Structure 1
Amino acid sequence: MDEKKYRFSNNKFNVQTWGEFNSIKTNKLIFIFGAGYGADFYFQNHSDDIVGIIDNDESKHGHRIDFFVDEISLKRCKEKKVLDVSVLKQYKNDNLVILIANLNAAEQIAEQLDSLGISNYYSLLAMEAIKRKSIVLAKDQIVNHCLLTECTDEIESNKLIFYSTGGYFGHGKYIAEQLLKQRRNLDIVWVVTDLKIEVPKGIRLVYWKNKRKYIHEMRTAKIWVHDDMVPLYIQKQSEQIYVQVKHWSSITLKTFGFDFTTFRKDNVEIEMCRHNSKMMDYIITGSKFDTDTCRSGFGFKGEIVQAGSSRSDVLFNETKYRQKVKKHYGLDDNKKILLYAPTFRYKLGGSNIREPYETNIDYELIIEKLVNKFSDEWCVLLRLHPLVSHASKSITLLDYVIDASDYSDSQELVAAADIMITDYSSIMFEPAYVRKPVFLFAPDRKEYINGERKLLIDYDTLPFSIAESNEELTNHIGNFNREEYVIKVDEFMEKYGVHEDGHASERSAKFILDLIDGTRS
């Protein structure tokens, strides 16, 4: 590789070749280290049978290997589930050869294997880099090889593929569960980024990093139901139908799509919006305001189905979800719940980097005021935005403040809560659909509105009290008048055409079934 020969600090990787690997693996027990793109690439280009696939990611352990790599692996691996590295302790070094297929941590894995006394290891990326004289070209080839494969599979008329920002929640969740109730012969596929997700019987999962399988499912599904953008490398065929359901309810405070990306001058996101706008066939919205803003934000001129907010249906079944959430967190039946759900901020100077924002909310002062105003015992559920939820683990919380950032479905938390405090998150509107009290705590109000995110609604016209300090917030709680609040919310919802009734998912499911049956006019 000339002047770029030594690309790795581990010199073994700078001289390894496929010829050497193929020679040494004879009569050895082969393990692949890394359940991902590299392993998939190997199975597609080599015919060896191996013992199994090892990975350091504990969340992958015990899952079937074909969840992460091409299903051909099931025929070629003795062990059908992802293994922990400890499995190697039962073998002698001379009997082993390890192919490190992880593309990002090969040198760290090499150190790990050295510590176990295992020296016969090879880096797939390094060998491909030597072969192609470029580590960049090698990685691109490994990651994107599945994109270059022509799809000859036919579209399946009863297959639907759902994506809800990588998890199992949102409008799609409730639409899918309605579909399961109404039709048994549907093949419902759910795209996930989190391996811990549990879904109802009748829904099968595809891991988004298993690109070959993910692309296959996308190419063969008759209906796409997405609440976010479809990647640029996915192209819809003319016989397929793309239904966009977006990831907010019947009204949103902040700009999105073209209205947001042009505001931030993010060319990559603008291209993503163009790509999706061209492919969308329908958008399901929840209100007249939602319809108008979706036309602008998505640049969409096609048909819009104003069915309501499917994810908000749970709010009309409060008792069920209050019991579920309290049981999950071990809360007494008589305990009242304050849900605090601040949104994220964009990192200063970063075009698309999100970070949590420390509002310095005074929980003690607020709980004291809630007890004085409403009596009863109170606890707080802290719900950070899913994009920054990991940050909650580093926050020191009081005994009565529970970290609910990793709870799978925020709408269930809204249904369980008695009161909500938020800032600029559009989740603020959902408790108001059933007239629960909402208070806004926005200490960085001027900075956010003037530079962080353009709003679709004048912040001062919202039907909720706005506080920029803890003292102001507790005063609003102490002065809360339910009758006046309900009147304000009623007028606001009427103005924006929001009329939630708890049956939006039924209407949306019927619409999608009509598409499947070809009866949609």
Structure 2
Amino acid sequence: MFKIKKWLKKIPFVVSVVSKVYDFYRKVYMFLCNKFRSVDENKAVFISFNGLSYSDNPKAISEKLHEMKPQMEIVWLFLNPEEKIQLVPDYVRCVQADTFSALKELATSKYWIDNFCKPLYTYKGKNQIYVQTWHGDRGFKKVLYSSTFLPKKFRILEKDICDVMISGSDFGKSVHETAFRFEGVTLNNGTPRNDMLVRNDPEQKKNIDKKVRKLLGIEAETKIFLYAPTLRREASESGGKQASDGIDLIKILEVLEDKFKEKWCCVVRAHSAVGGIQGIPEDYHKIKNGNLVEDMNDLLFITDFLITDYSSSAGDFALLNKPIILFQSDRAAYIDRDRTFYFDIDVTPFIIVENNDQLIQELEKIEMSMIPENCKAILDFYDTNETGNSSEKIIEYIM
């Protein structure tokens, strides 16, 4: 028994050694594929949120790339490729992420497009181009090397292997360069996922609106308010649900319907890194599960009113000139346990509330005619540079 206990104490060490050996093997495999199989000049490999979804900046670039250069082979890496085949266009080839097949695709592709950091075992050849699009441009939270809660052994590869980054604001450009310690080229022409928000094309919006409403069971004339809080560290690490921190969605719906004399519903979208949000009435017909929608920006595009907390979605939604309220009932605890901020949120143009009573008061007094001015102030605060054609600019630059 003593020998077994002694062996068990060594397991973390054994696991660490095995992991390092496996990572070395994967890097060698990528190196060999890159050197002894030709790099395909007409292939691009995309991945979003580590393979979770067909979404965000990589999706926007992927679709624009096919439009501009239909001869390009477009490969997407997914954790569950079988589930995504029905969601992606016919020209996309889906491959299982975190496999040797995925490593081979990367090692033999001319272009990589990602919105998360690459694993440390990644090998990239000099004849390949890596575009890092990150997934938050106008946010609040310090990330990566800028984070207050950075582990001692934290390390990322992007500053060494990334060829170009993108941003949609002077603020975002500065944040990305410091957070990644990146000294290369940053294209400050906008974030691809926001191109459709800037263009605000009626036909595209009509199609997305119809698709999302059908999926969530929302009537055509019903207004939508989106509740989309960012993740909490504890829930993210456990995979469980995070607290809703006192927000009363049913009361909010009642106030909205009384004020605007229209039907409203609430779409709740939890961060993909957590298991949901506690205290949300699951059997109330006016509250819908926004996590059924693959791409957050599809939801933003058709939303009439956004409530979030510390999410960069607020800086994106301002492009639509629609009302945004930040519900920050746990700010002190959030700063203590989760993330610190790049600036003092209280000096920003955002409408901020600390509890449900304050939220209701803001709703009751809100003047829709003043919202465009508020949104412009938010965008100016970040020195926003969204152009509506950033996907095209990126493709022109790398090709």
State the TM-score, normalizing by the size of structure 2: 0.86
Tell me the SS of whatever aligns to 1:236.
Answer: coil
Which amino acid in the other structure matches residue 171 of structure 1? N
Name 2:139's counterpart in structure 1: 252
Quote the residue 2:159 is aligned against: 277
CA contact 1:346–1:355 (8 Å) conserved in 2: no
Match of 2:183 among 297, 301, 315: 301
- Give 1:267's match in structure 2, choosing from 137, 146, 152: 152
Equivalent position of 1:125 in the other structure: none
Deviation, 1:224, is: 1.2
Measure, in 1, the Cα distance between the counterparts of 2:385 and 2:89.
29
Give 3-state SS (helix, strand or coil) of 1:391's partner.
coil
- 1:136 & 1:455 partners in 2: Cα distance? 33
Structure 1 segments (4+ residues) deviating >6 Å = 134-144, 350-354
Q: Distance in 1 between matches of 2:281 and 2:23?
A: 40
Task: Work out the CA distance in 1 between the residues paired with 2:15 and 2:314.
Answer: 48
Q: Distance in 1 between matches of 2:23 and 2:128?
A: 26
1:20 alignment counterpart: none
> What is the alpha-carbon distance in structure 2 between the residues aligned to residue 501 and residue 136 of structure 1?
46
Instruction: Report the counterpart of residue 500 of structure 1 in structure 2.
Output: 386
* Aligned residue-pair number: 379
Residue equivalent to 1:53: none
Contact 1:345 1:355 in 2 (8 A): no
Q: How far does residue 137 in structure 1 lie from its aligned partner after superposition?
A: 7.4
Compute the displacement of 1:352 (Å): 9.6
* C-alpha contact (below 8 Å) 2:169/2:190 kept by paired residues: yes
Using CA pairs below 8 Å that are at least 6 residues apart, which structure has the higher relative contact order?
A: 2
- The Cα of 1:183 is off from its aligned counterpart by 0.9
Aligned to 2:119: 231
CA distance in 2, matches of 1:163, 1:135: 27
Separation (CA, whole Å) in 2 of partners of 1:474 and 1:208: 44
State the shift of 1:290 in Å.
Answer: 1.2
Deviation by residue 1:140-160 (Cα, 9 ceiling, x = unmatched) = 878875555433212111111
CA distance in 2, matches of 1:375, 1:266: 51
Identity %: 27
Unaligned segments of structure 1, at least 5 residues: 9-133, 517-521
Residue equivalent to 1:321: 208
Q: CA shift at 1:462, angstroms?
A: 2.9
Mapped partners of 2:18, 2:144: distance in 1? 34
Structure 2 gap ranges (5+): 9-13
SS of corresponding position for 2:257: helix
Which letter does structure 1 place at the counterpart of 2:303? A
Within 5 Å, give how 1:205-220 maps onto structure 2. Answer: 205-210=94-99, 212-220=100-108
Q: Which amino acid aligns with 2:44?
A: L
> Is the Cα contact below 8 Å between 2:242 and 2:278 reproduced in 1?
no
Distance 1:266 1:146, change over 3 A: closer
Q: 1:303 to 1:145 in 2, by over 3 A?
A: closer
Residues 229-261 of structure 1, C-alpha deviations (whole Å, 9 max, x = no match): 011111211111111111124x1221112101x
Q: Decide whether aligned partners of structure 1 residues 355 and 154 sit closer, same or farther in structure 2, where only a CA change above 3 A counts.
A: farther
Structure 2: distance between partners of 1:246 and 1:354 = 25
Query: Aligned pair in 2 of structure 1 residues 168, 281: CA closer, same or farther (>3 Å)?
Result: same
- Kept after mapping to 1: 8 A contact 2:189/2:387: no
CA distance in 1 between partners of 2:169 and 2:18 (Å): 49
Q: Deviations over 1:163-188 (max 9, x none)?
A: 21122101110111011011122121
Query: So what's the TM-score if we normalise by structure 1?
Result: 0.67
Aligned to 1:519: none
**Aligned-partner Cα distance in 2 for 1:292–1:403:** 35
Tell me the C-alpha RMSD between the 2 structures.
3.0
Structure label with greater radius of gyration: 1
Contact preservation (8 Å) 1:342, 1:424: yes
The answer to whether 1:199 aligns with 2:199 is no
Q: Does the aligned pair in 1 maintain the 2:77–2:96 contact within 8 Å? A: yes
Task: Tell me if structure 2 keeps the 8 A contact 1:176–1:509.
Answer: no
Rounded to whole Å, the distance in 1 between the matches of 2:114 and 2:240 is 22
Maintained 8 Å contact 2:192/2:390: yes
Tell me whether 334-343 or 476-485 shows the greater mean CA deviation.
476-485
- In structure 2, the residue matched to 1:337 is 224
- Structure 1 position 491 matched with structure 2 position 341: no
Distance 1:232 1:352, change over 3 A: farther
Asked if 1 retains the 8 angstrom alpha-carbon contact of 2:255 and 2:360, the reply is yes
